Structures are given as structure tokens and as C-alpha cells.
Chain A
């Protein structure tokens, strides 16, 4: 005997205002009686403080409560019986925010996550355990107008442009230049740009793109801000040809990225680091804050 939730869309991606359609499948070998089949939709922002901030915010710790975004409960079937075989019960939910808060993008982060889940429960009296099943689906938030900030961002990295170095003489000479196509990025399109090594005294080992999330939890009383790596994509391997424009290209991973979000209680922002690793394992890093959004097509 089993309980299953099936959504009509294979991608499981929905947008606010849409109707979530699907069906519950109850499969049983013999007739069974039950005390009710319930379906519950829940969208929630959950937060967790990083271990290093616990000391400071110990008092504050307990107050980080999940923020509900949407809750719908439904009794799909009153107490009764299911016949042997597969019973399919279709359902529909309108996806509508319950409060003033909009439905944020689904997001799986380290300290913050936005999750939308369907829970189905088949109760079978006091003696039997209820049959539970849950399924996460993905919400992509409202689309906004196309950003006008389309201008490319040129950059040049030289020993002089570096910030935290003690002695500039110890740094080998190099010049690395390039452009990032834009800082306001469509989340569905890859991050693009070019980079070229104009000259470098030391051979280069690798050039990498590091995608970093900056998560901020808190409120008026205080906050915790943490930056963690999402992924690291190598764009150059070995001592590349000088003066050859190497493409910067990174696909934003699904679920681990979302539209850049800032609210009273939490913030989710993203940054890109261009990391140049020299043969002697010295790192040169250039940081670019980026804004992710979802433009109308």
C-alpha cells in the first residue's frame, strides 16, 4: 500500500498566481478504510545561524523563526474506504501568497532556505500509523522589467590594483584585463565576459570563477552575515596564451541560486570572484558583486 503525489509538470516549476495541479495516487492491494486523506501546502523561509555567530547571538538564537509564506490545508477525502487497486484523486491549489510577503524563489542555501512542499497524509485510525508523503516543488518568483543596467564592466588587475598586500615588491608583475558583460544578470542566462592575460611574470596555473552567496539573517536587533562558496568553475587550465581572450562563462545552478532578495528579516545576495592561481599557488582574486533577477521576456 502506498501513497504518492504527482504533479502535472515534470519540471515541478510554478509561478505565483498559477494553479498547482496534480493528483494523489493511493495504491492498495486490498480494500482499506481510513479516517481521512489530507493534503497540505506549505511555503516557508527557514533560517539558521552559523556556528561561529552563535556565541554573539545566543540570546537572539531562538528568535529566528521560520517565516511562513503560504499555507493551505485541504481534506481531500473524508473518512471512508479505498478499493483495491490504484485510486487517483486530482487536486488543485492556487499559488497565492497569504500575507503581504510575496512568494520568494525556491532557494537552498547554507543558512537560509526557501522551500515549498506538499504534504499528504492518509490517516488510518488510532492503531495504525498514518501514511505520509511529501514532495517539494519549485517556485520561481514574479518576473520584473528588464534591467537597464546593461553596460559591461571592464576590469584590469595589476599588482597596483590589489588591495590587501603588505609589500608590493614581493608580487610578481602581471596584467590581467577583461570585461564582465553585466552586473545585473538574468538568472536563466549564463554569466558571461572575457578575460585575457596580457602579461604575467609567473606562469599561471589556473583561472577560476567562484560563485559566492552572501546570506544575511537578522532584524533590527542585530544580524549575521555569511559568505560561502556555491561553486567554483575553472575557465583556464595551465599557462594560457598571452593576449588571447578567454571566455568567462558560468551557468547559475538551479536551487542554489535565486533572485537577489532583500527583506527585513533576511537577505540573499551573490558575488563572483575571479581567482587567478599562479604556478606557485599564489592567489589573485577580484570580487564582483552581482545582482540576479528574473526579467520578463
Chain B
């Protein structure tokens, strides 16, 4: 037997541990915010950590979340650490909602707020795909006749002026273009005003209000009204500001601006004169509609003339509005009267009643006009009127007593075809009033069946009113019995709606919301869902209703504190079946899972919920195909992982494993899910070990072996090489911990077959290629660290797994020059460890090689032989780099190597000494080239300082030997 050429220094691990200083347990996770664990988190974390610490080797089980699979993107979402996050989320959520509620209640909404809200609704609702014509209603012929007795020259000039006044005449505009033109006119108006061109600004304002005469595209009219009045209101503001500036009193050098609560007496004569000029100017505008609109827009300016002049003006305009023949134009003008009246003098209400009565008086006109509309139904035409009536009534409603409202309902019931009015009552009168009259109203709505106004619209509005979230706590709510009764009446109406599937769905959404306000209404929900399914299924009409179906789904999800409750509805899964289009279905499944995740209701094991969720997850899983991008895949995997994490059968581990088996069958295409499953099973195995206090009985032993077998099978179907490597290592570790040596052996070996297949580069998330070498070396190093404790298979040669690894590394083609050195350094470390008489750790119930061989000569010779082999390679490699340009990377490796040799081998012996000299020489040369004091080599200096005494001695020798 040959002499040991590479004797290994015996280490005292216990001593080393001491020299590393005392380790103290940390309380903070470095990746989490400071605030997260401050309160309950700490306790929770301690509880979780303690058992695992006690377990000694169990640290090995949990692979470092930072170096593990990149596909599982967030180490914090790792369910192993996820448990400690939950309590934190649970108590932070209510806080958020309560603060939101507070801010909502803070300020009671003002009429202007209401307008802003409605404004948005109108713009969103009243759109058109028809072509629009922008014409400022030219009346050229008439003008020509009326001015015919003027001299020729004058007439010419007037006509030229007219051309400017008439503004652009554009036809065939899309809605967007039309809107843009209006906005541009507005901008031109402001610009003209800013450049002191008041007349031009006024002309533009007139042109804009003239656009409101045109009602050819009625469904766009409300939006047009909103856009134009926005500009007019601003214009009025400009005039007011200007008059106010003019009213500033100059006393010597000091300019005293007008008080904000000024009276007419404070206004100087000159400003009054300017104001009255404005009024005269506007009063002489030829056309009625622009005149009224502009007089309204500068309504506030009347305050310069007298205290209550504006009231007279409001009364006058209220009457003058009767002159507008088109009901649509007239009603929106009335709407604007209310709006300006509300802004200037909210307390004044004398004009509101006649205004509303006029609006009622022209009601028959709407119907007769609606019947004559060519391109829209009478119902749709009626709906274009609703915002105007709603606003009128909501302005009036603020000044109405309960008796007045009573009167109003009676009046409404007397009018034929009172749909629009009913609608206004529903959407504008106070919540309390509606709830106390709800049955009378419903009765009237039912009677509307035969009329022009669509009933569904009324039902929808009623539902919306009743589900309004602004309702304050002291308002009068419907009793539970009334709700049921109401729902019954309404739903009977709805379910008989034939052929109006869109409308039906809109109502269904609203009334479903109504049902969901109350808790424990599963029966009602079932009835509604059943009806919806009955409506949609027969003619496959659901295909057109996906948006509404989605809305229903989200209402259902939002209504339940615990999403799993939904599965107890008998009609929920049939309802889900309505989502038949692949993409819609996937989205629906996603939203269910997201809701489940955001509600965070903890773990479940109800068989209905689990099987439903598996069905949903499977749908998601099956939607993944070659075209799915990484982000989508990650989203889906995350959702599925969350679901897997939240299924817990408590101590029934076999059931749990069964569930994991089912999951594997269902989600075999998603790497991260499989990855997560393997991890979960591993942790299951370790939990078993914890429960049996480290020693398995027959049953638990076979269960654990089952777990490991599960891993073994599952891993091989994962695509990513590194994930597989990591998982083999992890499950190998688990097998080792559970003393399942055969499995451990095969898992460790299985991993080795993969090395040859590792691709040299991978494409990162940013699309750039990166080298996998560092990761591979990192893995090899972790692998070897565990391998130290794996006892050899007695049937094989000692260290046979290492030999295989060694062979695999040697045959791996893609090492870089530095990697070559690095990976051999790692091998060297391993060999230096296995040569020790006692290892630094022991695994419970497992005899590692130190015990197995007990410093057996034959074994040591094998180690020595391998050392010889590895070091030989290193030496040849060193010879090669001697000649090559030395890189600073190499320098680090050389240092590490020198350190290893110095620490691990007896350098008094010739072979190690020669090696060390060689390394030291190379280091010396490198040192001359790259200053060791460089920043990037700073960390090396510690190592160097330890080696310095030895090196100094060597340097002395070297001067004699080498130089």
C-alpha cells in the first residue's frame, strides 16, 4: 500500500466554531420591511423557528430561497415562510377599510359634486358610432332678406362677418373628432380671452352654444351638452373674474381688490358700466338658445348690478326656455338653468317648480318626437332625456318637503307613459324616500310595461338606488322581509323579459348586488343564478354577455368573506359553465383565485371547495400553451400555488399527500407548481419526522419513503435543469434526514446524470444571455456539502458518488478558465472534509462515512488517491495559466486554493509544499500585476493576513529555491 502523499490536517470543528464567535438568532428577515414583524409577527416567527432549530440538521431541508428556482419569483410568497405573513395581513386589512370609510363620510356631497359625478356618467354612457356634423346652424338666407334694404357694400361686409361668425361647418366626423373640435373651440376661446380679444371669445361662445340646437344624433346629445356647458361655465367665470378685477379700487398706489362677499354698492360705476354692456350685448344675440345659454353662463355677474337681479334673470330664462321647440334641447337647457342657479344661489328655489312643471308639460312632445325618430327606438330616445330629468328633479328634490314629494308621485302616476319621470324619481329623490315608497314605485314600474320607456331601465335604477353605497348609517333601510318581498316582485318582472338579453343581464347584475348586501342569502343567490342560466343557456346567448357575467362573478366574489362558501351554492359551478370562451373562462378562473387569495381566509379542506378549486386551477393550467408568455405563466402558477398552500388536512398527512398526488396529475405542465409541490412534500416528510421525534416507526417510515418517491417521480417531469438539480439535492437531503439511504443514494446519483446536460448559458428575464457556470459551481458546492454526510453504499467502491461527480465534471465541456479552477477547489474542499476522522455534523440515525470507515487505511488511501488526482489536475491547470495572461478572477481563486492547501494539508510534506510554492509564486506575480489593495480584492486581504506568516517563510525559501 502506497504511502499517503497528501496527508490531511485533522480539524477540530468544535474549536473552529468557537473561533467564529457567538452566533445569535436574528429577529428580522432581511428582505422584509421593518414594520412587518413588529407586533404579532415576532411571536409567530419564534414559534415557527424554534422547532426547526432544535432539529439540528433540518436547516438543510429548506433550500435557500434566494438561490432556488428563479421561476418561483418571490421568496416571500414561499409558503414555508408565508405562514408568518398571514397574521400580519389579517390585522392590517380592516384598518385600511375603516380609514377609507371614514374619509368617505367626511364631507357631505355638494350639488357640484353630484354634477361632477353625473357628468362622468353621462360622458361614459351617451356615445355614438354615427357620423356627426358640426354646423353652427347658419341662417344666411334669412339674414340676407332681413338686411336686404341695406346698401350693397354694407351687406357684403356683413356677410363676410357672418362667415367668421358661423364657424367651421364640418361633416362626417366621428365622435372623437367631434369632441376634439369642441375642445379646440374651447381652447381657442380661452386663448382669445387671454389675448384680450373679448369679442372673438364671445363669438366662439355663441358658436359653441349654437351647436346645442342640433339634435340629429340624439344619443350623443347629452355628452355634447356636457362638453359644451363645461366651456360655457368656464367662460362665465372668466367674465366674472374680469369684472371683479375691474372693480378693484385704486387708492393712490394701493390697489384694493373687491371683497369676495361684495355688494353692488362696493362696485365702482365703471365696472357696473362694463357689466351692463355685457348684459346689453348678450340680450341682443339674435338666436334664442345661445342667448339663454350665455345669459346663464354669466348669471353670477348680475351680482355686480344688484343683489337679487340674478333671481329675476333666472325666472325670466325659466319662462323663455318654453320657446325651445325640441324637447331634448329644451330639457337640457332646463338642466343648465338648474345647474347655474345652484351654483350662483343655492338657496333660491322659486324657479325650480315652474321649470319642472314645464318639463312635465312638454312630456307628450318627447313621445311624439320619439316615435318619429328614424335611427333609434323610442325607448332609446327616452333614455337620452333621463339625465336632464334626473338632474332637474334632484335640484328640485333638495327643496321639497315630504308632502311635496307625495304630490309629485301622485302627479307622476297621472301622466301617461311616465317612465322618464319615474326614472328621475328613482335616481334623484333621497334614499329614505325611495325605501319608504318602494312598493308603490314598483307597482308603477310594473304598470309601465306597456309604455315606451324601457322597464328594465327603471328596475335597474331602482336596484342601483337601493344598493347605493353612499347610504349613511342612519338612513332607513328596508327590513329583511321587505327585501325578500321586493326581490320577488322585481324578479318576476325580470324573468319574464324576453328577447332583451343585454338589458336583462344589466338588471341581473344590479339586483344580484342588492341580494348580496345582506348576508346569508344563499338561497336567493341560487334562485337568481338559476334564472340567469336559464336565460342564457338555451340560445347560447351567454356568448354576448361575458362582460355582465364577469360583473356577476365579481359581485359574488366580493360578497363572500370566504370564497369557498360560493361552492356551496348549487348553481355556482353551472354558472361558471356559462363562461365557455376559453379566454373568458380563464379570466374568470383567475379572478376567483385572486379573490380567494386576497380574502386570505386561511386553510381549507372541504372536499367540495377542494375539488371545485382543482377544477378551476386545472382550467387555468390547461390554458397554458406554447404561446403563453412567462408573465402569464408566472401569474397562473402563483395562483395555483396559493391554492395548494391553503389546502391543509391538519395532521392527516396521508390525505395531504393524496392531495399533492392529485395536484401533480392536474398541473403537470407548470414547472413552478411542480417545484412547489416537491417542496411541499419535502416539508411534509420533515413534519412527519418532527412528529416522530426523529425516529420513524414502520408506518411513518413507509409514508416518508412514499413522500420521497413522490419527489423522485415528480422531479423528472420538470423542464428546468437547475430546478431539477436543486430539487434532487433537496429531496436527497430529506431522504438522508429520514434515514432512507437507498432513496438518498439514488436521488444523489440521479442528479449527477443531469450535469452533462446543463446548458452553458440561459436567457434571463431581461432577455440577455447569462452564463450558468456560477450557478453550477454553486450547486456542486452545496451538493458536495451534503454529500459529505451521505454514507457510501457498501456494495460499491468508497466515495463512488463523488467519483461519478468527478467524472461528470471532467467531461463537462463548458468550463471557463476560472471555473475550471473554482470547481476543482470545491472538489478539493470535499476531499479534505471526508478525510477527517470526525465530521462537523451528524445526521440522526445515520452513520456517515467517518463512522462507517473509522479512518480505515484503505479508505484513506482512496481519499489520497482522489486527492492526488484532483491536485494533479489543478497543477496541470496552474502550469497552463502560468503562461496565460493572469486574470484578477484567477487571483481570487489562487488565494482560495492557497488557503485550502495551507489549512487542509500538511505543508511540511514535499508534495503539498511544492503545490503551495507554485500557488504562492503565481499569487506573487499576480500581486505585482494587480494591487491587492484594490477594492475588489479587499476581501482577500483578510485571508492573506492569515497566510502571511506561512508565506513569508516560504518566500524566504523560494528566493533560494526558485530564484
Contacts and interface: CB of A to CB of B under 8 A. Distances in A.
A241 B270 CA distance: 43
A9 B324 CA distance: 40
Interface stretch (B144-152, B411-419, B432-440, B896-904): B144-152
Interface residues of B, number: 35
Interface string A1-42: 000000001110000000000000000000000000000000
A11 B322 contact: no
Contacts of A245: 319, 322
Interface in A238-292: 238-241, 244-247, 249-251, 253-254, 277, 281
B149 A240 contact: no
Given A240-B322, A244-B358, A228 B149 contact: yes
A137 to B, nearest CB: 13
B361 interface: yes
A258 B840 CA distance: 117
A250 B323 CA distance: 14
Most buried by B among A9, A10, A229, A241: A241
B316 interface: yes
Interface string B252-284: 000000000000000011101100000110011
B322 A244 contact: yes
A280 B319 CA distance: 27
Interface in A96-150: none
Contacts of A210: 146
B320 interface: yes
Interface string A66-102: 0000000000000000000000000000000000000
B323 A232 contact: no
Contacts of B269: 9-11
A254 B277 CA distance: 10
Given A9-B269, A10-B270, A244-B358, A237 B280 contact: no
Contacts of A250: 283
Given A240-B322, A241-B365, A10 B273 contact: yes
Nearest to B279: A251
A231 interface: yes
Nearest to A207: B323
Nearest to B268: A10
Interface in B318-343: 319-320, 322-327, 329
Interface in B273-332: 273, 279-280, 283-284, 286-289, 291, 316, 319-320, 322-327, 329
Nearest to A236: B323
B273, B280, B284, B362 pick with most chain A CB within 10 angstroms: B284
B213 interface: yes
A233 interface: yes
A244 B288 contact: no
A63 interface: no
A44 interface: no
Interface in A185-207: 190, 204, 207
A199 to B, nearest CB: 14
A238 B288 CA distance: 10
A235 interface: yes
Nearest to A208: B286
A237 B289 contact: yes
Interface centre among A190, A228, A236 (most CB of B within 10 A): A236
Contact of B329 (A232, A235, A238, A247): A238
B284 A231 contact: yes
Contact of A237 (B268, B284, B287): B287
Contacts of B284: 231, 233, 251, 253
A237 B286 contact: no
Contact of B273 (A11, A207, A229): A11
Nearest to A240: B325
B327 to A, nearest CB: 8
B280 A254 contact: yes
B320 A235 contact: yes
B325 A229 contact: no
A246 B291 CA distance: 15
A170 interface: no
A232 B142 CA distance: 11
A163 to B, nearest CB: 19
A51 interface: yes
Nearest to A9: B269
A247 B354 CA distance: 14
Highest count of chain B CB atoms <10 Å: which of A228, A244, A253, A254: A244
B362 A244 contact: yes
A236 B286 contact: no
A179 interface: no
Nearest to B319: A247
B388 to A, nearest CB: 16
Contacts of B320: 235, 246-247, 249
A51 B280 CA distance: 31
B280 A241 contact: no
Q: Which of A235, A240, A253 has the largest count of B CB atoms less than 10 A from its CB?
A: A240
A204 B326 CA distance: 11
B292 to A, nearest CB: 10
A237 B213 contact: yes
A234 B324 contact: no
Contact of B324 (A10, A11, A190, A237): A237
A234 B288 contact: yes
A250 B270 CA distance: 25
B353 to A, nearest CB: 16
A263 to B, nearest CB: 24
Given A11-B273, A228-B149, A234 B286 contact: yes
Given A235-B288, A247-B316, A251-B284, A241 B273 contact: no
A228 B280 CA distance: 21
Nearest to A210: B146
Contact of B286 (A9, A233, A246, A277): A233
B325 A236 contact: yes
Contacts of B322: 236, 240-241, 244-247
A281 B142 CA distance: 9
B466 to A, nearest CB: 35
Contacts of B286: 231-234
Residue in B273, B320, B322, B323 whose Cβ sees the most chain A Cβ within 10 Å: B323
A10 B269 CA distance: 6
A232 B146 contact: yes
Nearest to A239: B325
Contacts of A236: 288, 322-325
A187 to B, nearest CB: 13
A232 B285 CA distance: 9
B361 A229 contact: no
B560 to A, nearest CB: 53
A115 B262 CA distance: 37
A108 to B, nearest CB: 14
B731 to A, nearest CB: 84
A238 B326 contact: yes
Contacts of B268: 10
A48 to B, nearest CB: 12
B325 A235 contact: no
Interface of A: 9-11, 51, 190, 204, 207, 210, 228-229, 231-241, 244-247, 249-251, 253-254, 277, 281
19 contacts: A11-B269, A11-B273, A233-B284, A233-B286, A233-B288, A234-B286, A235-B288, A235-B323, A236-B322, A237-B213, A237-B329, A238-B213, A241-B362, A241-B365, A244-B358, A245-B322, A251-B279, A251-B283, A254-B280
Given A10-B269, A190-B283, A229-B147, 17 more contacts: A9-B269, A11-B273, A231-B286, A237-B323, A238-B324, A238-B326, A238-B329, A239-B326, A240-B324, A244-B358, A244-B361, A246-B319, A251-B279, A251-B280, A251-B283, A253-B280, A281-B141
The 10 tightest CB contacts between A and B, nearest first, are: A238-B325, A236-B323, A10-B270, A251-B283, A234-B288, A240-B325, A239-B325, A10-B269, A247-B319, A246-B323
Interface of B: 141-142, 146-147, 149, 151, 213, 268-270, 272-273, 279-280, 283-284, 286-289, 291, 316, 319-320, 322-327, 329, 358, 361-362, 365
